Structure 1
Amino acid sequence: MQWLTMTTRSDRALIRIYTAFVLLGVLWGSNFIYMKWAAAFISPGQISLLRVLFGFAPLAVLAWRKRVIRIEQLRYLHHFSVMAALTTAFSYFAMAKGTSLLPSGIAGVLAGSPPLFTSMASSLFLRNEKMNGLMVCSVALGLIGIALIARPWESASADNAISFAGVAWMLAGSIVFGLSYIYVRRFISPVNLAPLSVVTWQIGLALLMLLISTDMSGIGQILQDWRAVTGLVIGLGLLGTGASFVLYYFLLQELGAVAAAGAIYITPVVALLIGWVAGERVGLVEVVAVILIVGSIAMLEVGRQRTAHREAAPTQGTVSFD
């Protein structure tokens, strides 16, 4: 009977973990339609500000309840400020700007590309994270997928539905977001702070930056459309930002960083499906691009694991049965 009870608890824990994993991917993938709705009424800067405002609320409550914010953490304020300015304020603005110029599904597919740029930057700036042959091929496939989405060969066409400026903004946000991994590894990980405390500082400081830098003129126009208001406040802010971070750090504790970040595999697929349901054009090119980008991210992880196994093998005294 005791074994049965333990098994039942274990099964319930797995269900909670996998439910959180899928939900996180769905929330991340849904963000782009909410940004698209809001972009019809307010500016990308205002979208970013309101997103951070309503996303910060649940994080602040959770951080207060967990008591992870301490006065001595102010010594790392400069690192938190860099992350707030680049990874949150700029990246969120770039994503909102890009989504305002692109179909939401296309924006969501491009937003799944940060792991590609993280891998390239890691090989350049982190000595112990060099790319092997499989990882190089996976990055190449991912870049081909991005090219299929961007269609630079059609940029001169008058009826081209894909804005090159929109693609550039999305890639700028993805590149900065991907590079932030290097900064975290070099300067934040060594101090061994709780992830929830880091992200609470990061989002809180980004909120202050956006409050100072955002033009508030016309921000009330969002109230003209209940769908846009609900999507921005609840979908993009409370769920897509605040709750997503909570889910991510729950998975971080249960599965580790690599597995938790795997929810990004779901994001482009969800974004494209939502865009298709909303009436956006989704053709064979878009489907192939999603397959290439998602597949490249999966191949990157396989290549990274192979490298880790090879580096660990000489230090182990056990026999491998691979």
Structure 2
Amino acid sequence: MRQFFNNRWVLLLVITLTWGSSFMLIKKSLVAFTPYEIGAIRIVGSGLMLAIIGIPAIIKMSNRTLLWVTVVGFFGNFLPMFLFPIAQTKVSSSLAGILDSLVPVFVLVFGFLLFGIKSQLSQVVGAIIGFFGAASLIYFSDANTEGSQFAYTMLIVLAGASYGINAVVITERTSKVKAVELTAAVYTIWAIPAMVILYFTGFIQNFEITPETIQPIGYLAFLTTFGTAIAMLLYYKLIQNTSAVFASTASYLLPVVAVIWGIVDGEKFTWWYVLGAVLILIGIYLIREKKKDPKLAPRT
């Protein structure tokens, strides 16, 4: 079993299937839980699971390192956990999965804006193509029809931007922190405010298991355990065993899994999805044409 999970292709496959399925799991969880409950439960659950590693890691960190780890956690492990379920009250899981692949584009943009990281011309062209693909996807999809919720679609884009900031900060400010300790620390830290949010949602006081909530509870439990905590650990293990370039291959595959789940669940699918996705993936390919890439942040 150990050799099985040391295989980079196995890790990539598991991560892709898990994160690509997260959008559908969020959709199914929304049947019984509010977006704020879903986000808070994922963070609190992951924090509790990883606290045994996170607490010792936090104790030995310097104040400066702890500050940057907290920033990393906010943009990569706290804010997006709420943005995605809020957005998916109005946005299909397929569209959410395609737009989430914009993360490498935002890594490039914020790398330059925040830390002056220069890019090759091909990468700039890739970023432009990627944004054009996202814009066309949003414009020609249901997000731009009368009565639709354009603002909710933009929350997915905002979540991608948040992941982009997270990725650049990891590379520039927390690269010396071991991946597993970083993962555990950020969830341990942000589990506290997430628990406060969960309390004010009324979930803790009013929670009860009914026949209608059994399946959504199962979806959310799987999402929290495998789609959040374990998938993130496997992702960082993949980076350590290979490279950020290879690990970022998941950016190409996530939309495929998300779209397949959407079709299976009967979601509307148009050729504009294909065009937008192709343009975004071309942009990602051009951005990846460099020797050393920033580490990408984990998805939903």
Query: Shorter-chain TM-score category?
Result: 0.7 to 0.9
1:14-35 deviation line (CA, Å, top 9, x unaligned): 9822011111011111101111
User: The residue matched to 1:130 in structure 2 has which SS?
Assistant: coil
Q: How many residues align?
A: 286
Partner SS for 2:269: coil
Report the equivalent of 2:263.
276
Distance 1:55 1:295, change over 3 A: farther
Q: 1:150 to 1:213 in 2, by over 3 A?
A: same
The answer to whether structure 1 residue 110 and structure 2 residue 96 are counterparts is no
Gaps of 5+ in 1: 1-11, 308-322
CA offset digits 1:161-212 (Å, max 9, x no partner): xx212111111111111012232233222xx121111111101111111112
Q: 1:297 & 1:59 partners in 2: Cα distance?
A: 32
Deviations 1:44-90 (A, max 9, x none): 111011112333354445x38xx972622153332222222232211
Residue in 2 that maps onto 1:203: 187
Could you tell me how far 1:141 is from its partner in structure 2? 1.5
Q: Does 1:80 align with 2:69?
A: yes
TM-score (norm 2): 0.86
**Structure 2 equivalent of residue 119 of structure 1:** 108
Equivalent-residue separation in structure 2 for 1:193 and 1:103 (angstroms): 36
Secondary structure of the structure 2 residue equivalent to 1:106:
helix
Alpha-carbon spacing, 1:156–1:202, altered in 2? closer, same or farther (3 Å):
closer
Partner of residue 284, structure 2: 297
Partner residue, 2:201:
216
Contact 1:27 1:239 in 2 (8 A): yes
Answering whether residue 57 of structure 2 is matched by residue 69 of structure 1, we say: yes
Contact 2:141–2:272, Cα closer than 8 Å, also in 1: no
Match of 1:133 among 121, 125, 133: 121
**Contact 1:105–1:275, Cα closer than 8 Å, also in 2:** yes
CA contact 1:68–1:194 (8 Å) conserved in 2 = no
- 1:298-313 map, 5 Å: 298-302=285-289, 304-305=290-291
Change (3 A) 1:263 1:60: farther
Aligned equivalents of 1:136 and 1:166: distance in 2? 27
Within 2, Cα distance between the matches of 1:22 and 1:295? 21
Change (3 A) 1:188 1:42: same
Task: Report the CA distance between 1:139 and its aligned residue.
Answer: 1.0
For 2:145 and 2:249, the matched residues in 1 are separated by: 37
Q: Is residue 231 of structure 2 the alignment partner of residue 244 of structure 1?
A: yes
The residue type paired with residue 122 of structure 2 is: L
Give the superposition deviation at 1:264. Answer: 2.0
Q: CA deviation at 1:306?
A: 9.2
The residue number in structure 2 matching 1:53 is 44
Aligned to 1:305, the other structure's residue is in SS state: coil
On the 8 A contact 2:140/2:272 being kept in 1, the answer is no
Q: Is 1:286 matched with 2:253?
A: no
Q: Which has a greater percent of helix?
A: 1
Measure the CA separation in 2 of the matches of 1:80 and 1:206. 10
Once superposed, what is the RMSD of the aligned Cα atoms? 2.6
8 Å contact 2:19–2:227 — kept in the other structure?
Answer: yes
Task: Give the corresponding residue for 2:137.
Answer: 149
Following the alignment from structure 2 to structure 1, what is the Cα–Cα distance between the partners of residues 50 and 232? 8
Ranges in structure 2 where 5+ consecutive residues have no aligned partner? 294-300
Query: What is the aligned partner in structure 2 of residue 94 from structure 1?
Result: 83
Measured after TM superposition, the shift of residue 116 of structure 1 is: 0.6
Counterpart position of 1:29:
20
CA distance in 2: counterparts of 1:283 and 1:153, whole angstroms = 8
> For residue 242 of structure 2, what is the aligned residue in structure 1?
255
User: Partner of 1:73: helix, strand, or coil?
Assistant: coil
TM-score with structure 1 length normalisation? 0.80
Distance 2:264 2:192 in 1: 36
